[in-house]
Amino acid sequence: MTRHIPWILTALVGAVSLAVVAVSRGETVNALWIVVAAVSCFLVAYRYYALFIAREVMRLDPARPTPAIRRADGLDYVATDRTVLFGHHFAAIAGAGPLVGPVLAAQMGYLPGTLWIIAGVVVAGAVQDFMVLFVSMRRDGKSLGELIRMEMGQVAGTIALFGAFMIMVIILAVLALIVVKALAESPWGMFTVAATVPLALAMGAYTRWIRPGRIGEVSILGLIGLLAAIVYGQAIAQSPVWGPIFTFTPVQLCWILIGYGAVASVLPVWLLLAPRDYLSTFLKIGAIAALAIGIVIMAPPLRMHAVTQFAAGGGPVWSGGLFPFLFITIACGAVSGFHALIASGTTPKLIATESDAPLIGYGAMLMEAFVAIMALVGASILDPGIYFTMNSPAAVIGTDPASVSAAVTAMGFPISPDLIVQTAKDVGEHTIISRAGGAPTLAVAMAEIFSHVFGGPAMKAFWYHFAILFEALFILTAVDAGTRAGRFMLQDLIALAVPSFKDSKSQLPGFVATGLCVAAWGFFLYQGVTDPLGGVNTLWPVFGISNQMLAAIALMLGTAVLFRMKRDRFAWVTIVPAAWLLICTLSAGFLKLFSTDAKVGFLAHAAKYGAALDKGEVLAPAKSVAEMRQILFNDYVDAGLVAIFLAVVLSLLVFTIRTCIAARRFAAPTAREIPAQLVTTP
Amino acid sequence: MSHLLHTLRRMMHLMVGQPDYDAYLRHMRHHHPGHAPMDRTAFFRNRQEARYGGKNGGKCC
C-alpha cells in the first residue's frame, strides 16, 4: 500500500490543478497550473494505465526475444538502451503537428484544448502508439500496411496503404502552407531559411569528404551558421537592395516550395536532406527543452479566456463547433494516426526487451502531449487581441491596422491599432495581420517567453526569427523526407496494377512517382495559398480528419489483434478510443460534406458559388468568372477527398468487425505472432 | 557523468538514424567472424542511405 502513496499524492495535485484551471472565471490563472495538471495526470496514467495494458492486456513477456534480438544485424535490428531509444522515438514522432493544432484550437479558449489533450492522450493517443508498437514488435517489426494485411487480409492492407498515401499528401500540403504563411512578405525570415540551403550543402560536403560521420561537430558548425544568418537577416531585410529580393508573395513562395520539393527529393540524401535533418532535429529538441524551462521560469498568466464564444462555432480561425471540430483540430498531441507509421517503422526493430515497450510506446506519446500543452500555453499567454489579429483571415478583419483593430475589438477582444503596429515592430516584421497557420503565433509567444528569460525586449525580434527558423527548418525536412516516402508508397500502389513500375533498375518510375507526389501536394498547397479564407481554414480540418482516421484504423487493427489473441475481454482498451475517433471523424467528415452552412460544408459552398455563377454574378473574394470556376473546382476536389477518407475508414471498420467475428468462432488464438517457442537466439 | 554523456551522445546519433558503430563491430565479431566489417565511414554512409532513402515512411508531421 505504501508504494501507492506518492502516486495518490500526485493524483491529488493533478486534480487540484485541473480544478483551478477549470473552475477559475474572471481572475487570471497562471499557466503553471495547466503544466502541473498535465504532468501529474501523465505520471499517474503512465504508472497505472500503461502498466495495466502491459501486464493484463498485452501480457508483455520480458523473456520473449524481440526482433532486435532475433534478427540482430548491427544495422537495422539492434538491441538499444531504453533511454537512447526513447529519445529516438520521441524525435521521430514530435514535429509541427503538436505545435500548430493547439495554437489553432486556442480560438475556443484554453480550457477545451487542455482537457482534450490530457484526456485524449491518456485514453487514445498513447494507447494507439503503444498498441501498434506491441503488434509490430511481435511480428518482426513489420509496417502498418503489412500488419493490416497479415491480420485483416490483402484488400484491407491495400486500402490502408492507399489511405496512408492520401494522408501523406495532405500533411505535406498543410506543412508547406504553414511555411508559406510564416515566410510571405518577411524578408528576414525568408533570408534565414534560404541561407539554410547553402549551409546544409556545405555541411553535406563536410560529412561526405572532410570528416565523415562527425555529426556533432558538423551540427555545431551549422548552428553557428544559422545564428549568423538570423543576426545578419535583419540587416538584409532592411537593405534597400536585398530586402525586396527576399520579399515574396504567398503565390511566389508556393511555387518556390513546389520546385524545392521536386528537386530536393531527388538529390542524394547526404547532400541536403541528411545535414538539414541534423540541424532540425537537434534544434527541435533544444527549442522544446528551452520552451519548457522558459515557461517554468516566467510562470506567465493566461490572458486568453478559458472558453470563448467561438466554442459554439463561427470562429474566425477555423469554422465549426466544438464537437466534432476541436477533436480533429488538435490531432498530434492528443492522438495522431501518423504515429502508427513510426511505431511500426524503425522503433520496433530497436527495442531490446518487451518490458521497455510501455516507456517507448506510451511514454514518448505522453511527452509529445506535453509539447502540445506548451504550445497551447504559448498561444494563451498572448493578448487575445493579438491572437485573433494574427489568426483571422483578411476576408474577415481587413488588412490595415485600423480596420483590424475595429473588427477584432468587435469580436470582444479589445486591441488598439498602435498595439498591432508595435507588436509587428517588436518582432521585426512588416505586419502581423492574418498570419494564420500557427507557426507565427507560436513564434511571437516564444519570443515573449525567451526574451523574458534571456536578452530582454531588445532580443524579441531575434527570438521571433529563431522560432520561425526552427519551425520552417523541420517542416522543410519533413517535406523533403515525406516526398521521398510518398514516392515509394505511390510506386508500391501503381505496381499493383503495373508490376514493372516497381523496377528499381530504371530511373523513370522513380521520377514519375516523385513528380506525381509533388504535383498532388502542390495542388492542395496552391489551393490553400490562394484561398481567401486563409487556406488553413480549409486544409487543416481535412488534415485533421485524415490523421484521426488513420488513428482509428490503427486502433481497429489493435482491436482485431486483441480478438485474435483471444483477449476480447480487454478489447475495450482499443474499442473505446477507436469508437470515439470514428464518431468524431465520421461526423466531421459528414459535416464537411453535407453541412448547409457554406462556411463548413464544401458542397454547400460549391452550391452557393454555382448558383451565383449561373446568374452571372461574381462573389467575393473571386474577382472573375475564371476564379469562380476555380473555387467551384476546389470545393469538389475537397469534397471528393473527404468522401474517399470516409470510404476508406468505413470499409476498414467492416473488415475489423468481420475479423473480430471470425476470431470469436475459434477457441484458440489466431493472431499471427512469431511464436515464442520457435524463437531462439542465434 | 561520463556514462550520462555517452548515453546522450548515442541518443543524439540515433535520433538522426546512426546506430552505435561499436555495437555493430561486436555483432560482426560474434556472429560473422569470417566477414570483414564495414569501416566507420562505410557504416555511416550505409546508415545515412537507410534512414533517408524514403523507405522508412518518413517522420511525423
Compute the distance between CA of residue A534 and CA of residue A649 in angstroms, rounded to an integer.
28
Contact B7 A84 (CB under 8 A): yes
Using DSSP, state whether A656 is helix, strand or coil.
helix
Contacts of A628-636 with C-beta under 8 Å, sequence gap 24+, read: A630/A530, A631/A605, A632/A606, A634/A527, A634/A531, A634/A538, A635/A602, A635/A603, A635/A605, A635/A606, A635/A609, A636/A602, A636/A606
Name chain B contacts of A147, Cβ cutoff 8 Å: none
Q: Are A483 and A493 in contact (CB under 8 A)?
A: no
Burial of A523 (0-12, 13-18, 19+ CB in 10 A): middle
Residue A623 sits at φ, ψ, to 5 deg, of -115, -5
First to last CA, chain A: 43
Are residues A216 and B11, on separate chains, in Cβ contact within 8 Å? no
Interface test with B, best of A85, A179, A203, A215 (most B CBs within 10 A): A215
Q: Decide if A438 contacts A104 (C-beta within 8 A).
A: yes
* Cβ-count burial A126-139 (b if 16+ within 10 Å, e if not): bbbbbbbbbbbbbb
Q: How many CB pairs under 8 A join A and B?
A: 142
Reading the block at residue A458, the C-alpha cell is 531588445
Q: Are A328 and A7 in contact (CB under 8 A)?
A: no
- Do the domain assignments include residue A679? no
Distance separating alpha carbons of residues A358 and A51, to the nearest angstrom? 7
The distance of B17 to chain A (nearest Cα, Å) reads 8
A63-72 pLDDT per residue, tens? 999 999 999 9
A401 in Cβ contact with A420 (< 8 Å): yes
At A634, phi and psi to the nearest 5? Answer: -55, -45
Give, as one character, the DSSP assignment of residue A672.
Answer: -
C-alpha cell at A286: 533544444
How high is the pLDDT of residue A507? 82
Report pLDDT digits (tens) over A657-678: 999 999 999 999 999 998 876 5
From chain A, pick out residues whose CB is under 8 angstroms from the CB of B12.
87, 215-216, 282
Q: How many CB atoms lie within 10 A of CB B7?
A: 14
What's the CA gap between A363 and A88, in Å, rounded? Answer: 13
Contact flag A81-B7 (C-beta cutoff 8 Å)? yes
Which pLDDT score, from 0 to 100, does residue A681 have?
Answer: 47
A471-493 burial: b if 16+ Cβ within 10 Å, else e: bbbbbbbbbbbbbbbbbbbbbbb
A452 domain residue, yes or no: yes
CB atoms within 10 A of CB A398: 17
Residue A129 main-chain phi, psi, to 5 deg: -60, -45
CB contact under 8 A, A213 and B18: yes
- State the smallest CA–CA distance between residue B1 and chain A in angstroms: 15
Q: Which of A212, A278, A682 sits opposite B16 (nearest CB)?
A: A278
Asked whether the beta carbons of A28 and A301 are under 8 A apart, the reply is yes
For residue A456, which amino acid is it? G
Amino acid B59: pLDDT:
55
The answer to whether residues A102 and A373 touch, using CB atoms and an 8 Å cutoff, is yes
Give percent above pLDDT 90 in chain A. Answer: 81
Number of domains in chain A: 1
Sort out which chain B residues have CB atoms less than 8 A from A273's CB and list them: 52
Select from B21, B39, B59, B61 the residue whose CB has the most chain A CBs within 10 Å, as the one to mutate to test that interface. B61
* Rounded CA separation A62/A83 (Å): 17
For B30-44, the DSSP string reads HH-TTSPPP-HHHHH
**Closest of A518, A531, A552 to residue A638, by C-alpha:** A531
Q: A210: which chain B residues are within 8 Å (Cβ-Cβ)? A: none
Q: Spell out, as residue ranges, where chain A has pLDDT lower than 50.
A: 681-682
Task: Tell me whether residue A613 is exposed, middle or buried, using C-beta atoms within 10 angstroms of its C-beta: 0 to 12, 13 to 18, 19 or more.
Answer: middle
Test A285 with B15 for CB contact under 8 angstroms: yes
Which residues does chain A have within 8 Å of residue B33's beta carbon, measured at their own beta carbons? none
Residues of B in Cβ contact (< 8 Å) with A270? 45, 48-49, 52
Output DSSP code: residue A457.
Answer: G
Per the CB < 8 A criterion, the answer to whether A188 and A245 are in contact is no
- Alpha-carbon distance of A324 to A318, in angstroms, equals 12
The verdict on a CB contact (< 8 Å) between B19 and A74 is yes
Question: Could you give the 3-state DSSP secondary structure of residue A301?
Answer: strand
Nearest CA in chain A to B55: A485
Calpha distance A636→A625 (Å, rounded): 17
| The residue to which cell 476470431 is assigned | A663
Q: Please tell me the pTM assigned to this model.
A: 0.95
Q: Please report where in the chains the cell 526493430 appears, as a residue.
A: A349
With CA atoms as reference, report the closest residue to A423 among A374, A457, A469. Answer: A457
CATH number for A281? 1.20.1740.10
Confidence at residue A678, expressed as pLDDT on a 0 to 100 scale? 57
Alpha carbon distance A338, A344 (integer Å):
10
Nearest to B14 among A80, A485, A547 (CB): A80
Residue of A nearest to B10 (CA): A84
> Measured in Å, how far apart are chain B's first and last C-alpha atoms?
34
Helix, strand, coil tally for chain A in percent (to 5)? 75, 0, 25
DSSP H/E element including A653 = helix A625-665
Asked if the Cβ–Cβ distance from A269 to B53 is below 8 Å, we say yes
The answer to the question of residue A379 being in a domain is: yes
Q: Using CB atoms, which residue from A72, A168, A216 is nearest to B27? A: A72
Taking the C-alpha atoms of residue A609 and residue A629, their distance in angstroms, rounded to an integer, is 8
Mutate to test the interface with B, among A75, A280, A281, A341 (most CBs of B within 10 A): A75
Q: A35 vs chain B: nearest CA distance in angstroms?
A: 23
What residues of A are in contact with residue B45 (Cβ under 8 Å)? 212, 270
Domain range for A366 is 66-185+248-589
Q: Which residue has the cell 536532406?
A: A273
pLDDT band at B1 (very low <50, low <70, confident <90, very high): confident
Answer whether residue A281 is part of any domain: yes
ipTM of the complex: 0.94
Cell of A497: 496494377
Query: φ, ψ for residue A319 (rounded to 5)?
Result: -90, 160
Q: Which residue of A has its CA nearest to B8?
A: A84
Taking an 8 Å cut-off on Cβ atoms, the answer to whether B60 and A212 are in contact is no
- For residue A294, the distance in angstroms to the closest alpha carbon of chain B comes to 22
Report pLDDT for A332. 87
Please state the rounded mean pLDDT for residues B38-54.
Answer: 90
Model pLDDT, residue A211: 94
Residues with Cβ within 8 Å of residue A265, at least 6 apart in sequence: A480, A483, A484, A487, A514, A517, A518, B54
Is A17 part of a structural domain of the chain? Answer: no
State the Cα–Cα distance between residues B8 and A298, nearest whole angstrom: 27
**Cβ burial A319-357 (10 Å sphere, 16+ → b, else e):** bbbbebbbbbbbbbbbbbbbbbbbbbbbbbbbbbbbebb
Q: How far apart are CA A486 and CA A165, in angstroms?
A: 6
Contact by Cβ (8 Å): A645, A546:
yes
- Helix crossing, A460-497 with A187-205: angle to 10°? 60
Q: Tell me the chain B residues in contact with residue A513 when contact means C-beta distances shorter than 8 Å.
A: none
User: CA nearest B25 in A: which residue?
Assistant: A74
Residue appearing with cell numbers 500555453: A377
Q: Is the sign of the CA dihedral A89, A95, A99, A104 positive or negative? A: negative
Distance CA A87, CA A26 (A): 41
- Does residue A455 lie within any of the structural domains? yes
Strand pairing partners for A519?
A: none
The answer on pLDDT for B58 being more than 80 is: no
